[in-house]
Structure 1
Amino acid sequence: MDGTQQEHTPAGVNMNNWRLPKNLRWSFQHMADFLPTALISRGEGTVAPLPAAHRDLDSVRLAPAFPSEAPLSVGSVMAAAETDGWMFMHRGTVLAEQYFGQMKADTPHLLMSMSKSLIGAVAGALIDSGVLDSDARLTDYLPEVAENGYAGARVRQLLDMRSGIDFSENYLDPSAGVRMLGQAIGWSALKAPGPTGMYPYLRTLVRKTAHGGVFEYRSCETDMLGWICESAAKKPMATLLSELLWSKLGAESDATIGVDQFGTGIFDGGINATMRDMARFGSLFLNDGLAPSGERVLSKEWIAQTLAGAPDSRDAFADGPVDNLMPGGMYRNQMWFPYPGDEVVLCLGIHGQMVYINRPAEVVAVKLSSWPTPQGPAKLSRTLRAFDAISAALLVEANTAPPASAAPAGN
């Protein structure tokens, strides 16, 4: 279904202005038009079908977060959160799929940090095949890391963002590490002298605490993980993503990954893909690593240990230096767990990107957005609650009535 919002199509978008609020909707859907990218091929395999049985999910009501909260519906949440597209799948069938502005089913959208979850899946596939060892030191694959702050760190600590590296993810601080990284890779104008390129930048990082401590969300962890994967497999990440993931999903479309001045992938947030293909990716975490195509992408063991976490994953998450607004949650293998337990799993990206997996409800949902600011806690919370509300209604329906009889009632 196409929305009716009008899309602003700006002239002269470039690395200096593409993240201005007025340009975001256009730039997130046209990254290859103004920045360099590499192809992630879907290969020659058959497209995995996504059968549809569309229903009115806009009217599903959210449970109030507090007694005085104004009534909210799924439709009102999506309308108020700069939604470019959203979809909802139950047991592999699409119940809702909406696009706004000029975005369509075949439009690639910048995933921002949902890219991290795809890199985590590549690492998982390499670990499954024995090419990569999660317990190995980084220096086993990259001897040059012995000369920087990652010396002594292990692959597992990158996967769970528990190294001791000194890096700030404060998006609003122009001097933060995440902003220096953006300058180094050519995603923003150079405002201060520094290294050019992803790997030269990573070589400058220093350690602030012992490796293996508390969780701290840092994009550089995924960039280092991508570098380790490339070194272990002796292939560029675009090729690994194609061979190990995209060609097995039954994807409809090729994806792309942004690259720096030397052709190195921007692993932490540079992948562009369609909403439908991201729903296929989310299905891996419902089906024990099997793609909708029927091909195995990740082992049952990898999925199981992702869901279980380490014995101290939740303590490490709670004790981190930033309140992640997910009490009882954790971060494991580049995936978010917003609640206690393993029922709900998320891929998240700034400016409103989400893949939502609800295992008991057999649900995968996706929302792609262009929030004007990198973070929006209220919008994130309401999106999560909207998907929770639909999932809860489907569970109630399944337990009280024949399936697919009517649109689920709000809760």
Structure 2
Amino acid sequence: MIRHPYRSGLVALALAAAGQAAAAAPPITSNDDLGTAVAAQIACAGIFVAGRAEADVLRDDIHALAPFTRTVALSVDRKAHTVTASAPGTATRTALHRPAVGCTLTTGDVPLKALNAQAARLKPLPSRPARPWPQGDAPVARLQAAAEARLDRAALDAAVRAAFDEQNTGGYPDTRAIVVVQGGTIVAEHYAPGFTQDTRMLGWSATKSLMGTLVGLLVDDGVLALDAPAPVPEWQGAGDPRAAITLRQLLTMSSGLAFVESYKPGNDSIKMLFEAGDMGALAAARPLEHAPGTHWSYSSGTTNILSRIVFQATGGTLEGMTRFAQKRLFEPAGMRSALIEPDESGVLVGSSYGYATARDWARYGLLYLNHGQAGGKRLLSPQWLDFALTPTPASERPSYGAQLWLNRPAAAEAGRKVLQDVAPDAYMAMGHNHQIVAVIPSQDAVIVRLGWTPEGQKFDWNKHLSRIAAALAPAAAAN
């Protein structure tokens, strides 16, 4: 089960002056501190990245997220591209938006002028060309007709409606988008009011899979090697046992590094996401708790160490890393809305902050469904795909590969799977608030659900995805 970030961090008010840093953010010692930090980060993206109204973001994202965000107020400076979050009795926190890279929660350690300079030459990807799906949005009549003939239209429409109607009570947009692809075409697509096919939405931990894929591109290029010691400067001292950790072990969450993933003030996850300007450095500083390769432990810190490795391998700048992601993954896969927001050091926060439209999340699933190919070109090698979808031997259950969840049954647990009623060949990118990109090869299908399920509530992944999958073509007809 994925538990994902309630982000936090507060920063000083007036981002006025030309290059002066804001006062340093205080440590997060309470849930109220956490509330202003996570509010600044996600409200900034909701307003500037997703393009939603400030009032909607405050009501449906911030106040609905958790009890400790219900008293947060926002101050938006559209000229400076900042959002400041405040609440009674807590310090304020500010996030800065830069158009090509999204929002960054400031700590006060880096002058605002320097932050803007990091992204000064970056541009968003050009608008989508007028091409057939999936490189463009034009429907392909031949594919649509073939796919429609194989599925149960009434059952599919009912299953998609149920994922909205059973969740979105009282006008609250819990399920916000569902896109279903089969046979190479979109066979179902629906959005909550206020959201469209052009709205970028946060993947939370589904972002980990994007970062894993960026690592895979560098492995395929020969720049990185799976079984070589991971190139982490902090681990290179004489006698440091962490020097033995390999890239393979980082990708499969079996590095052995200590990292407390639970999201409570004082824990590693909170310090990393809402207090640190260099998240990968904080994670890399953690000691070994287990021998590398012997123990599986889900860790957002591990993914941000991978992010830092990609950052260094692509030039050591925000510009270099962003261009690499755009040119090697997002643009060729047709994911022109996609971005991963960076921390103050310029490293993309691969654990948590990926944004894309629902269609672009579906395009990402299609890249894997189509064996690493998109737009008639191979982006990922068969060797990488085989590794990414192989269960890590460090885990007792075969449910995790390389930054991807696997739906394989565990023999010792009477066939128990992550999604019990979905095909066992499925694999998923999953994130907090119940985001999911599910790839089902035996049905030639991708199912995307994006939403904002509040703390204490649940979206039943298994129930809703299995209903949708049951309405699609069976394995024999789909292939």
TM-score, normalised by the number of residues in structure 2? 0.64
State whether structure 2 residue 236 is matched by structure 1 residue 146.
Answer: yes
3-state SS of paired residue (1:169): coil
1:44 deviates by 7.5
Percent identity, aligned pairs only, is 26
Is 1:355 matched up with 2:355? no
Equivalent residue for 1:337?
Answer: 406
Which of residues 138, 156, 163 is equivalent to 2:248? 156
Tell whether the 8 Å contact from 2:341 to 2:354 is kept in structure 1 after alignment: yes
Contact 1:226 1:237 in 2 (8 A): no
User: How far apart, in 2, do the equivalents of 1:100 and 1:73 lie?
Assistant: 12
Find the partner of 2:470 among 377, 382, 392: 392
Shift of 1:45: 7.4
Q: Closer, same or farther in 2 for the Cα pair 1:149/1:179, shift >3 Å?
A: farther
Give the partner amino acid of 1:174.
Answer: P
1:86 to 168, 174, 178: 178
Distance 1:219 1:110, change over 3 A: same
Corresponding residue number in structure 1 for 2:260? 168
Counterpart AA for 1:129: D
The aligned amino acid for 1:156 is R
SS for the counterpart of 2:244 is coil
Give the paired residue count: 345
Picking from 117, 121, 125, the partner of 1:42 is: 125
Residue 296 of structure 1 and its aligned partner are, at CA, apart by 1.8
Give the unaligned 5+ runs of structure 1: 1-11, 62-71, 186-195, 319-327, 404-411
1:109/1:275 contact within 8 Å kept: yes
Counterpart Cα distance in 1 of 2:399 and 2:38: 35
Structure 1 residue 90, shift from structure 2 partner: 0.8
Counterpart mapping for 1:5-84 below 5 A: 15=37, 17-18=39-40, 23=58, 25-26=60-61, 34=83, 35-36=95-96, 39=100, 41-42=124-125, 46=129, 48-50=135-137, 51=139, 55-56=153-154, 57-60=156-159, 73-77=162-166, 79=168, 82-84=174-176
Determine whether 1:242 maps to 2:326: yes
Give 1 or 2 for the bigger CA radius of gyration: 2
Q: Deviations over 1:2-53 (max 9, x none)?
A: xxxxxxxxxx99636357998474469x9x8633356264357745135375
Task: Say whether the 8 Å CA contact 2:283–2:302 is kept in structure 1.
Answer: no
Q: SS where residue 210 of structure 1 aligns? A: coil
Partner of 1:107: 199
Q: Does 1:298 align with 2:380?
A: yes
Instruction: State whether structure 2 residue 351 is matched by structure 1 residue 259.
Output: no
What is the CA RMSD across the aligned residues, in angstroms? 3.3
Distance 1:37 1:370 in 2: 22
Deviation at 1:256, TM superposition (A): 2.7
Structure 2 unaligned regions, length at least 5: 1-12, 14-34, 44-55, 66-75, 84-94, 102-123, 410-422
> Which range moves more in the overlay, 333-342 or 207-216?
333-342
Give the counterpart of 1:225 among 280, 301, 306: 306
SS of the equivalent of 2:327 reads helix
**Deviates most, 342-351 or 257-266:** 257-266
- Given candidates 290, 296, 299, the residue that maps to 1:215 is 296
Q: For residues 303 and 16 of structure 1, what CA distance do their matches in structure 2 show? A: 34
Note the C-alpha offset of 1:245. Answer: 0.2
Structure with the larger helix share: 2
Aligned match for 1:177, one of 268, 278, 295: 268
How big is each residue's C-alpha offset from its partner over 1:320-350, in whole Å with a ceiling of 9 and x where there is no partner? xxxxxxxx54211100013329610100111
CA distance in 1, matches of 2:340, 2:59: 18
Counterpart CA distance in 2 for 1:353 and 1:210 is 32
Letter paired with 2:333: L
Distance change in 2, residues 1:264/1:82 (3 Å):
same
| Bigger relative contact order, structure 1 or 2 (CA pairs below 8 A, ≥6 apart) | 1
Alignment of 1:266-277 (within 5 A): 266-277=349-360
Secondary structure at 1:121 match in 2: helix
| Cα shift at 1:362 | 0.6
TM-score normalized by structure 1?
Answer: 0.74
Q: Among residues 285, 306, 320, which one is paired with 2:368 in the alignment?
A: 285
Which SS does the other structure have where 2:362 is aligned? helix
Shift of 1:351: 1.2
User: Closer, same or farther in 2 for the Cα pair 1:270/1:90, shift >3 Å?
Assistant: same
